[in-house]
Chains A and B, each alone.
Chain A
């Protein structure tokens, strides 16, 4: 079951390179939230109420519901449906993502350690690289934000790969991270659109030497 969920998570990462529609991005982020809930719930060794609340809030409430809802709201408000025309063509994106997958497999074999689940490690490195690709090859702030959310999911997955029973502190840290992403989405992206009437990074050039 866990293997299937993690495989689906990897497939969702590949989808990011194929799609050019922001609605699909939002949907994929929501799907990843649900998958992360499934993975972390399946891994619970014992049902601890507080731990369960944290997992539900982090994954289902924030990652699967609030964040995609905010993304949809921004798409509707800014009327930006697709990635920038100047963005990397889908073919090259796929090539890059395949390369990222290969790199993550190689890195995982190098980093192999009895204390870490290799399968989780490989997918979390893959997610980290996919997030970075989204940030560096796209011009719209929306894509950058999605890249950041994918990196956050990579961190979440890696915390599971580390195999530790996530203590309260780590849970709090992850929740804070999610809160910041919601803040960026809810406040700053909307404000940038309101003030600059665009979500292009080309508009953000007022600060220079």
Chain B
């Protein structure tokens, strides 16, 4: 089935290239994402099956692919309100980039081989570049250059890490770089090589997961990319970075350097929180603000993995819920940006008066991002902090709490400013940019995420337990 999915993507691209009107492009893209949704259902029904040797429908891949399959059509619908001034060429390339990105991410979610994952991650860099360059302005050109250059350098460094891992398999007739095979050899491996491999891979993949140290490139990409695509980058692409890092962490679970890995993750998490806390106070741009919020959330996820215990479940749950909350926030900001004709948050205000429904979504997203009930992120952050206490990591507990206070203050002050600032000049506000049907979709998405705060279904919890079982064995 995954072969058919890849073929569908490969057929869609030349088909899109020959289309001469926007409607037919939209139909082809819609058809592709319908196939993707069908494929998602198939993966759920075929759990555990391996196809094309390199792709296994495991619980981790299924969960994140299911989320992607829901978010991709929503992103497509939001894109149509964004893409009305585009030339046919821009319109075509946007859809091609989106389909290629979505396909590469899907392949990487299910990849059971570290080299195949790396190749697909490299392909996401190319397809994302196509989308960041969409506007063809000096700003988008700068962002694309930086994205391709830094990501490629980062990914090359990650590849060095993979080569360090390949040394462990020295002597094998056929170099089997599957995660499973590598997990079998790490327990007797040279610890120094393992440490270097992990460091290189973490640094390289931090370009995708938007974690310290190479988080900056994600911020610039979110800033310059079309707003609906920023939502997709901050969820599906960031989730890809997480899945890739998580698979490596899980692979190393039986190695003697595992405690050291947890220490590295804790430090990376705290530094990401620090960066987010500082820059969320500084930035005026709404999209950069949300991108720094992603860095903050990735910091929490890294801390959860570093703390261990229930933290692993918390990390995956947090990523899934963050995907729903953050995409809602980005979709709404896409509308806000068009209404005010600017992404400068200091020029915005009285949003409740202009668009009450949109402002309601914004306030709900604020609650979601602050992780206060009914936000589902409350559950994952509660688990994260309890795992820190259980692991006696009091210093990290205190630091994370203090930094989160700054982040929450920034979130509240900026988003409430947009909703209630009465001194804002709203004479140039474009009310025609208000699209209630998009706001209703966002409302459904955020309420769906809140549902998981009150009820975590058994199937979800058992999948999470299955994914993290290796840590408790």
Please determine whether chains A and B interact with each other in the same assembly: yes
A binding-site residues for B, Cβ under 8 Å? 110-111, 113, 115-116, 128, 135, 141, 144-145, 148, 151-152, 154-155, 158-159, 162-165, 167, 169-170, 172-173, 176-177, 180-181, 183-184, 188, 191-192, 195-196, 204, 206-207, 209
Task: Please name all residues of chain B whose beta carbon is closer than 8 Å to the beta carbon of A164 when the two chains form the complex.
Answer: 166, 169-170, 175
Q: State the Cβ distance, A141 to closest chain B Cβ, in Å.
A: 8
Which of A116, A152, A162 has the most chain B CB atoms inside 10 A of its CB?
A162
Assess A192 versus B145: contact at CB under 8 Å? Given A115-B170, A207-B139: yes
Q: State the Cβ distance, B117 to closest chain A Cβ, in Å.
A: 10
**Inter-subunit contact A163/B170 (CB<8 Å):** yes
A71 CA / B115 CA spacing, docked (Å): 29
A128 CA / B156 CA spacing, docked (Å): 10
**Inter-subunit contact B125/A188 (CB<8 Å):** no
> Contact partner of A155 among B148, B160, B167, B279, CB < 8 A?
B160
**Inter-subunit contact B156/A176 (CB<8 Å):** no
**Inter-subunit contact B190/A113 (CB<8 Å):** yes
22 contacts between A and B (CB under 8 A): A113-B167, A113-B190, A113-B193, A116-B167, A128-B160, A148-B149, A148-B156, A151-B156, A155-B160, A158-B160, A162-B164, A164-B170, A169-B175, A170-B175, A173-B159, A180-B125, A183-B148, A191-B141, A192-B141, A195-B138, A196-B138, A204-B146
**Inter-subunit contact A170/B170 (CB<8 Å):** no
Assess A177 versus B153: contact at CB under 8 Å? Given A167-B174, A170-B175: no
> Contact partner of A173 among B115, B126, B196, B223, CB < 8 A?
B115
Task: Please name all residues of chain B whose beta carbon is closer than 8 Å to the beta carbon of A145 when the two chains form the complex.
Answer: 149
Task: Please name all residues of chain B whose beta carbon is closer than 8 Å to the beta carbon of A192 when the two chains form the complex.
Answer: 141-142, 145
Task: Please name all residues of chain A whose beta carbon is closer than 8 Å to the beta carbon of B220 when the two chains form the complex.
Answer: 207
Whether a CB of chain A sits under 8 angstroms from the CB of B244 is no
**Inter-subunit contact A155/B156 (CB<8 Å):** yes
Assess A159 versus B163: contact at CB under 8 Å? Given A177-B122, A195-B138: yes
Contact-size category for B: 35 or more
Task: Please name all residues of chain A whose beta carbon is closer than 8 Å to the beta carbon of B152 when the two chains form the complex.
Answer: 148, 177, 180-181, 184
**Inter-subunit contact B167/A162 (CB<8 Å):** yes
**Inter-subunit contact B126/A207 (CB<8 Å):** no
A49 CA / B242 CA spacing, docked (Å): 38
A180 CA / B144 CA spacing, docked (Å): 13
Binds A, one of B39-47, B281-289, B311-319: B281-289
Which of B118, B125, B153 has the most chain A CB atoms inside 10 A of its CB?
B153
Task: Please name all residues of chain A whose beta carbon is closer than 8 Å to the beta carbon of B126 when the two chains form the complex.
Answer: 180, 183
List 8 additional A-B contacts (Cβ < 8 Å) besides A183-B126, A192-B145: A158-B160, A159-B163, A162-B166, A167-B175, A176-B122, A184-B152, A206-B138, A207-B223
Residue-wise interface mask of B (196-211) relative to A, using a CB-CB cutoff of 8 A (1 in contact, 0 not): 1000000000000000
Task: Please name all residues of chain B whose beta carbon is closer than 8 Å to the beta carbon of A209 when the two chains form the complex.
Answer: 279, 282-285, 288
Q: Which 7 A-B pairs have the closest CB atoms?
A: A209-B283, A115-B170, A169-B115, A206-B139, A204-B142, A207-B220, A167-B175
> Contact partner of A188 among B145, B157, B160, CB < 8 A?
B145
Task: Please name all residues of chain B whose beta carbon is closer than 8 Å to the beta carbon of A167 when the two chains form the complex.
Answer: 174-175
Whether a CB of chain A sits under 8 angstroms from the CB of B119 is yes
Q: State the Cβ distance, A143 to closest chain B Cβ, in Å.
A: 12
**Inter-subunit contact B163/A158 (CB<8 Å):** yes
Task: Please name all residues of chain B whose beta carbon is closer than 8 Å to the beta carbon of A207 when the two chains form the complex.
Answer: 139, 142-143, 146, 220, 223-224
